[in-house]
Structures are given as C-alpha cells and as structure tokens.
Amino acid sequence: MSFETVTYEVDGKVVRIGLNRPKAVNAIDGVMKRELLEAFTMVAQEKEAMVVVLFGHGNNFCSGVDLKDMAFNGWEHTPEGWAGHFNQLISTSRVMWNLDIPVIAAVKGFCLGGGCDLAMMADFVLAADNTRIGEPEIMMGAFAPTLIVPWLMGMKKAREFLVIGTELDAEEAKELGLINRVFPLDALDENVEKWVKHICNIPRAALKMSKKVLNKQYELMGLWDAIEYNREYSVILNLNKTREERMDSLKFIREQGLKALLKQLDEKTIVR
C-alpha cells in the first residue's frame, strides 16, 4: 500500500514508518493523520515484525499539527469537527500503545506539539543532540491532546512543560525522562540500528509479554481514562474560542503566512 505523506517499509523483522512532508517540517495535516493511523494498523498484520522505527524525513521529526492545513482546507469548527480531529490523533496513539512489539521514535530537529505527542507514545525515544521538544500550542489557546507527558516526568516539570509551554533541548528532555538516549546528529541512525539489532535478538515471546505486562501497569493506574478525559476537554477548549477568534487567527495565516504567526507567538513567549 502506498501513502502520500508517510513512507512504510518492511525489512525482515523491522517496520520503518517515516513522516514524509519535509518541506512542511513534517507537519501533520489531515492526510497524514489518516495515513499514520492506517500505517500503524498495518503493523499489527506484520507477523514477522519485532520492532517499528518511526522517524521524520529531512532535517526534523515533526513540527506538530499543520496550521496551514487548518487555515486553507475548510477546517470544521464544530463539536464533530474537533472530536474527529482528536479522535484520529488519539486512535493512532492507542494503536501504537497496543502493538505487541516496541516502537522506537528516532527524533531530530523539531519535535513539537502533535509531533511531541507522537514521539512520546513510542516505547523508546532516541534523539539527536539538535532535538527541540515542546508543546507550544498553549500559547495559541490549545492543549496537548494525547496527554502522556505527565506519566513520563514529575508533576512540577510537567506543569512547566505543558502549562507554561517551555521548550527543552535533548539533554534536558533526557534528564526529565522524555528521551532514552541522546546521540550526535551524525551518529543517530547508526545507534538506532544498534537498538533495532538488539531488540531483534530478544526472544519474541519475552519481548511481546514484557510490553504487554508493562502497559497493563499504567492502564490499571488509569492512563487511558486520563487521556480520554483530556480529549473531551480539548474539544471543549477549542469550541470555547469563538468562531470570530478562530477565523481571525486562520485569516492571519492566510494573509501574512505561518512564519508571521510563529513570530508573533515567539514575541509573547517570555519564559523559555
């Protein structure tokens, strides 16, 4: 099966899924949302697979949800529209979580917003030393839809990361538990392959059982109940922005461009 915005390759025991919109910094548009869900659903049918590598083509992992897509492609500002948006994102996260083999996110450059959510749902995150991780959507009146970060770091830092919207470099993110290992950019691929080879040497039954029982620990603590609660309030939050406010922000992107909007948001960011 071929995709427009995602690459999908099976190499023996390894499935590689690539975000393939490098000119848009691999931003997640409507097509990519659908194709990511389809791609990870396909992994479950790969009976010989033992590991998935998720990566971004080009110089970055993912800059988040595509604001240009929202501005130009008739975004539906309704309960059904927003529910559909968040349902697709969270459905992909749930499929990743439920796979019986591990997912490695190989990240570099920007890993922001929806891209950060995607990487954090992986079982392992291996990062280049130029990685920048953040959930900046709070400055636009939005919030992370797949709220996995509080399960990965301490409460105070989670509040700073999500409510203030501070951005982390790779070493900071590793210290806080968001990243497993950091490598020089030119050594990232080589080290990802070492992890892939190691995982493929683990007995299949033990590999699958270990993920299953570890996942169950977090499920019993209420991880998916918490994510669902956040999904409902994310819909409410986005609907609380009046249609006029929403149209004004999208009009700003259409008339002045996304870079102008990002510059405006950057000027509002005091704490970094």
How confident is the prediction for the chain on average, in pLDDT? 88
**What architecture is domain 6-268?**
Alpha-Beta Complex (3.90)
Q: For 78-87, how does the pLDDT look when each residue is reduced to its tens digit (9 = 90+)? A: 777 777 778 8
Under the banding of pLDDT at 50, 70 and 90, the label for residue 262 is low
More confident residue, 227 or 104: 104
Confidence of residue 139 (pLDDT cuts 50, 70, 90): confident
Tell me which residue has tokens 């791609």. 39
Q: Residue 13: is its pLDDT beyond 90?
A: yes
In the chain, where the domains are located: 6-268
Residue 70: the pLDDT is: 66
Q: What pLDDT, in 10s, does the model give residues 19-37?
A: 999 999 999 998 999 999 9
pLDDT (0 to 100) of residue 45: 94
pLDDT above 90 coverage of the chain, percent: 65
Tell me the per-residue pLDDT of 57-82, one tens digit each, with 9 for 90 and over: 999 999 988 877 765 565 666 777 77
What is the rounded average pLDDT of the residues 153-176?
A: 94
Q: What is the pLDDT of residue 157?
A: 94
pLDDT value, residue 231: 83
